[in-house]
Amino acid sequence: MENRNHSMLNTDRIGSLLLKLTLPAFFGMFVQTLYNVISTIFVGHYVGPLGIGGLTIVFPLQMLAFGFGMMVGIGGASLISRQLGAQKHSEAEKTLGNGFTISLVLSVIVAIVVLPFMDFWLRLIGASDAILVHAKDYLMFIISGSFFAIFSTALLSFARAEGNARVGMTAMILGAGFSIFLSWLFIVVLNMGVKGAGLATIISQAISMSYLLAYYLTGSSYLKLRISNFKPDFRILKDMFAVGISAFTQTIASSLSAMIMIHLVVSYGGDITLSAFGIVQRLMMFAIMPGMVIGQGAQPILGYNFGARRYHLLMKTISIAAITSTTLSILVFLVFYFSPEPLIRIFSNDPALVAEGAHVAKLTLLAMPLMGAIHLGTQMFQAIGKGLQAFITAIVRPVVFMIPLVFILSNAWQLDGVLISFPASDFLTFVLILVMISPIIRQFRKSAQLKSEDGKGPLSPERLTEPVKVEVDDRR
């Protein structure tokens, strides 16, 4: 597998290689996004706008469980990869077992913190009396089943760490399929309302987790989940958290930002605006997908050619990925800006909600043409080992830009100010990435030009001390 992947990346046919790496990422992200919006579609048509508002209010708290899953998954996967590389098979299995234990502990902590105080949290975010009943019905199931969300998220990362992305894809498809069927059964047939949406969500997550557990409990996986490894090893947990805390911090920052945004949306717009905002946020998951998957597809190509010091191919990859992602982002923007109503009707046919949703979409998505470049820049930083820059670009939008801007702009323009803070934050993030990435691009371009002029091939470390210096050794 390793030789085949090496051979695939060792090519100058960047366009076809990018397509080959992007399509699986697109399919996987589409399935995962569909998984997250199915319940909202059924709730919108069979419960109504207030039901969508209930799901929207719960979303920041739902992100809390996802953040814990990302922390365990990314931290554990990094550790497992290093342990397998060092031929420490038993240590890798111990990390897998500790992942199960800490997922269970974290889910209990989430339940203790949230369930007894549901009214407090939901009121804090902005739930009205009409929204509160729907939000509580949904939140009760989501938090009660948070272990399924946390551990299935972690297991997906663990499977990729041992080189099996297919099992994770199958688990997501299985979960999405059951989510569609169960949402229809509970909401449409059994008329369970928002409770049905919550129950369908946690059962489908449990099915995904069970499939991944079966993979690790049978002879299919390289690593095995053993009860003897459930005992916490604080050395392993420390290493796991050290790596995973970055992903957790980013998710919690986004959750905090979402809480503030939702509270202000309710304050200035009311329940219908909240529901419209929730629909647009789910549509945005699909809207940013082209830019995100091109960035993900370009990352291994950028990393490989950076490591091989083939800067002309690295620049070619950046150019193709930037042009493609920006073009697709512009096309998505045109669709969302000039005809948002048909997209909103996927979730609800309520005339007031459709009209309000169109207004929300047009303002929040104004910076959509920049999203492809933003995601590509973040992926490029990761690919060339610039971990600090990658972290800054991920955290600065929801915290440094979004939160101050939403208060400043809403004070001036009320609801429209809240909505405009989205494109304003995106624009400032784009400018920041441009400032940080421009010197690196110039260095790569000079290096590629030097190679072309002297024909000596990739720059050696000794030649990097000559007049043109390239930052290739500053890896994180």
179-189 average pLDDT score: 95
Decide: 72 and 154 in contact? Cβ < 8 Å. Answer: yes
- Measured CA to CA, the distance from residue 35 to residue 48 in angstroms comes to 20
Question: Over the stretch 246-299, which tens digit does the pLDDT of each residue have?
Answer: 778 888 888 999 999 999 999 999 999 999 999 999 999 999 988 888 987 888
Task: Return the pLDDT at 133.
Answer: 96
State the CB neighbour count (10 A cutoff) for residue 252: 19
pLDDT band at 453 (very low <50, low <70, confident <90, very high): low
- Chain centroid to Cα 212, Å, comes to 20
Report pTM: 0.85
Q: Which residues contact 407 (CB under 8 A, 6 or more apart)?
A: none
User: Are 427 and 436 contacting, i.e. CB atoms less than 8 angstroms apart?
Assistant: no
With contact defined as beta carbons under 8 Å apart, do 5 and 273 qualify? no
DSSP state of 370: G
How large is the average pLDDT for residues 220-229? 84
Among 111, 470, 73, CA closest to 309: 470
Backbone φ and ψ of 409, nearest 5°:
-75, -35
Write the DSSP string, 429-463. Answer: HHHHHHHHHHHHHHHHHHHHHHHHHH---SPPTTG
Residue reference for tokens 């207030």? 50
User: C-alpha distances in angstroms, 287 versus 97, 131, 202, 203, 211?
Assistant: 37, 27, 26, 27, 30
For residues 114 and 121, give the distance between their C-alpha atoms in angstroms, rounded to a whole number: 7
pLDDT at 476: 35
pLDDT for res 225: 86
The token duo for 261 is 């945004």
Residue environment code for 123-147, b if the CB has 16+ CB neighbours within 10 A, otherwise e: bebbbbeebbebbbbbbbbbbbbbb
Q: Is the Cβ–Cβ distance between 266 and 128 less than 8 Å?
A: yes
Nearest-angstrom CA–CA distance, 421 and 409: 7
Q: pLDDT per residue over 293-317, tens digit each?
A: 898 788 878 888 887 788 888 899 9
In terms of Cβ atoms closer than 10 Å to its own Cβ (0-12, 13-18, 19+), residue 218 is exposed
Q: What is the pLDDT of residues 84-110, one digit of tens each?
A: 877 888 998 999 999 999 999 999 999
| Cα(55)–Cα(131) distance, integer angstroms | 9
Residue 44: predicted pLDDT: 95
Residue 34: count of CB within 10 angstroms of its CB = 18
* pLDDT above 60 (res 36): yes
| Tokens representing residue 331 in the block | 């096309």
In this predicted structure, what is the pLDDT of residue 132? 96
Q: Worst-scoring range by mean pLDDT, 234-238, 425-429, 453-457?
A: 453-457
Tokens (6 digits) for 73: 């998954």
Q: How far apart are CA 417 and CA 422, in angstroms?
A: 9
Q: What is the mean pLDDT of residues 178-182?
A: 94
- Percent of the chain residues topping a pLDDT of 70: 91
Phi/psi of residue 13, nearest 5 degrees: -85, 70
Angle, alpha carbons 405-406-411 (nearest 5°): 100
Q: What pLDDT is attached to residue 186? A: 97
* Segments in 218-270 forming alpha helices (H): 234-269
At 108 the pLDDT is 95
